[in-house]
Structure 1
């Protein structure tokens, strides 16, 4: 063997195959297991597709190891029988059902024990209160940043219902070519918008996201509304509860107008409805996997969106579509109610048209939740009025 890794993989494959074969021989004639119990190891019925020594020879190319001819024959002879106990755990009388939110027994905590992490104070200072006059064009309103939209809504120059209707019309007008929206939540959105307007008129203003229409990547659960993961087998999946992020945005008064596309199971930009396209170059995909949030935010189909990142899924579409994407530190935003791709890498974050907008959204969605044991309380120190002089830019 050339490396320790090759030795471990090869030894594991060969030893398991050998052990299964010997155990199956030793168990010959063993009486049947108790009804409802898993079969005795190595004695269950055959399961899985037929395999041969040639199958293992092909698998060696992927694992980058080499078995002997005898080891391949041994593995092929015992493989289907060795799969029986594993299959029984999925389909037998004592099958184990793993819910989508069931976390591993081991929890990764990104904070070093005994060390203070992050800023020393919790502070959020918005930019100057003055906003430009409300544009006469619906398109100009749609493309305005949340910093302006929120000021117009707060002083009642613009209603949430009108703004929501603008975005709903833009989805209807432009999304057939972009394919960035999986589900339009029109009835819910208009009801939330009317409620927001009523609260604001009564003097109950919740903050800068109150009445602001948004969309979320369709791996965040929404009660009573399909959450499809962008994958055909899940297109009719309807959760009964909201994800932590959606719940917090609802508490902030934001208006959900759309569930946005993602590459199937959070890979690339192709989902069961087709490929999501870059609004600035329709011959080019939006990149992924937060393709819908990137494209819809860039095209002003929503005021802001929330995407997810495991290995570039916010950064890549943000770069491709020309929006601001913020991949928060692991644990800052609770992932309760979100599809899992990798427990120790998944992160949820805002996708917006300006940096300050991203911070406004992050402030609303950050924080721990009991459903995500890796989520942590954290401080946010942001001052939009501060000068850039004296700041340092870090890079790797």
Structure 2
């Protein structure tokens, strides 16, 4: 028997049958009384108006047939919405960036970082604060500086400069001093945990920290205190890193405005730091932390790095576990480092990558860091269309020099033709609107969207409300189109390990496909950093880091770092 038909030819309601079967199960839900008046609240005119919103056209007879089932569907979905679903709970559908036929790294991970020598002469605090992790690590291991000294220095700088930058949500001083003292004891005893041991860092304030508030940058979560640490926080603690601060993010991971105001760029205090990893970007550029952790759904690592001149790595989707991080878009959220050097990104990724048994999107794919290999064997593409689209003359001059530096370093750059994001592909970012509305359904239901600081047409309250109107079949259609885009991207990159491009040129494309991107500085226009990007094959962070490392060694850090008064 098909389609719920009874032996006598009568129609049996599929949902009624399923509800009867489910009655044997014990499910704890908040009950909601259903009255005849409530069931009759939806009229045929209401249904017709709703269908116009979703761009569906059905005949009068079809609408009449639908109406009783639509009333029942509304009741059923209300019951679903009343279930106790915690923020961040992963749905039973998963995105996989991998496309069949695309090779993945295999074998054992290799980790052979460079070995900087601790400076022979003393470094003044203003210079010490801006040293890369690799140098701080060498100094700590040689006991030229202690973790307690570094931690006290960064805590002092966080207090001193936060009034200008507004980048600190919570100073974690008690925890930091405890971790720093432990690091010093272990280092003195010869128990070296690795290159992050004793190095102070800052966490974007959407990573859960046990017993320390995690606000998501939003007033409704201002007093939220998680009972556990995020996986990334746990792993950095195991690596010996010292958490000195929870850093600001634009509310619910958009922009640079949070419940205390706008996080500012240390290069230009009249500008925001961009977002949503606004605090990590500003604090790292201003020398307030050794490194920081950001997240990206659609530009939230790349954009603050562009504004602040920091180096950032957005790993492959499924490289770093998101367990214990605020969920905005399950199929697009990624976690990665923001630093002051390319190698620092590799050191941090090595500590935080790999499955944790909880985030089921994370693959057990090896990550290797062998900078001594340089550019050997790498096939590098050139996004000619992206560079040709640059209209700013200062930026064009910087990019011409940057590409020349790469070629002189041995890179053979060949044109790559990437998928166009025109037409329906341009609409795929609406996936975030729908998933975000689902992720914050309880906030919507409780009427707390009104508590968010920004209430314009392009801010979350309005975006989430609109997201609730997208039909399920349209969400599935977007994901089907996205899979098609993944296949096109796989074909475009088949002959390349990575490609070079200006910032933002392929930002939407690569966030949808899940490819990793490294962003680093190529030059300056006055006090404005000009950045360049390297995007790699899936799980080939090693390739883009090697290219970026060679580029950085040739270029240095043009313009240095911003000094605040």
CA distance in 2, matches of 1:134, 1:44: 82
Aligned residue number for residue 220 of structure 1: 207
For residues 241-256 of structure 1, what are the structure 2 equivalents within 5 Å?
Answer: 241-256=228-243
For residues 69-148 of structure 1, what are the structure 2 equivalents within 5 Å?
Answer: 86-90=77-81, 95-112=82-99, 116-118=103-105, 120-133=107-120, 135-148=122-135
1:89–1:105 Cα change, 3 Å: closer
Of 298, 301, 306, 2:288 maps to: 301
State whether residues 306 and 350 of structure 1, in contact with CA within 8 Å, keep that contact through their aligned partners in structure 2: yes
Instruction: Report SS of the residue matched to 1:125.
Output: coil
For residues 238-277 of structure 1, what are the structure 2 equivalents within 5 Å?
Answer: 238-277=225-264
1:354–1:43 Cα change, 3 Å: farther
- Is 1:350–2:337 an aligned residue pair? yes
State whether residues 213 and 256 of structure 1, in contact with CA within 8 Å, keep that contact through their aligned partners in structure 2: yes
State whether residues 134 and 157 of structure 1, in contact with CA within 8 Å, keep that contact through their aligned partners in structure 2: no
Give how far 1:177 is off: 1.3
1:80–1:265 Cα change, 3 Å: farther
The count of aligned residue pairs is: 356
Instruction: Report SS of the residue matched to 2:158.
Output: helix
Give how far 1:58 is off: 11
Of 259, 268, 281, 1:281 maps to: 268
Deviation per CA, 1:45-64, whole angstroms, max 9, x where unpaired?
Answer: 49x9x99x89x97996x767
Q: TM-score, normalised by structure 1?
A: 0.79
1:140–1:237 Cα change, 3 Å: same
CA distance in 2, matches of 1:116, 1:105: 26
- Is 1:198–2:185 an aligned residue pair? yes
CA distance in 1, matches of 2:237, 2:76: 45
1:109–1:127 Cα change, 3 Å: same
Give how far 1:129 is off: 3.6
State whether residues 278 and 284 of structure 1, in contact with CA within 8 Å, keep that contact through their aligned partners in structure 2: yes
State whether residues 164 and 193 of structure 1, in contact with CA within 8 Å, keep that contact through their aligned partners in structure 2: yes
Q: Which moved more, 1:166-175 or 1:376-385?
A: 376-385
Deviation per CA, 1:164-221, whole angstroms, max 9, x where unpaired?
Answer: 0010000011011111111110110011000100111111110100000001111110
1:111–1:80 Cα change, 3 Å: closer
Of 160, 174, 185, 1:173 maps to: 160
Aligned residue number for residue 379 of structure 1: 366
CA distance in 2, matches of 1:345, 1:208: 29
Aligned residue number for residue 152 of structure 1: 139
Deviation per CA, 1:74-101, whole angstroms, max 9, x where unpaired?
Answer: x9xx9999856544555xxxx4101234
Instruction: Report SS of the residue matched to 1:363.
Output: helix
Aligned residue number for residue 339 of structure 1: 326
CA distance in 2, matches of 1:384, 1:96: 50
For residues 39-58 of structure 1, what are the structure 2 equivalents within 5 Å?
Answer: 43=36, 45=38
State whether residues 116 and 135 of structure 2, in contact with CA within 8 Å, keep that contact through their aligned partners in structure 1: no
State whether residues 219 and 339 of structure 1, in contact with CA within 8 Å, keep that contact through their aligned partners in structure 2: yes
Instruction: Report SS of the residue matched to 1:385.
Output: helix
Aligned residue number for residue 292 of structure 1: 279
Aligned residue number for residue 317 of structure 1: 304
1:66–1:192 Cα change, 3 Å: same
Instruction: Report SS of the residue matched to 1:266.
Output: coil
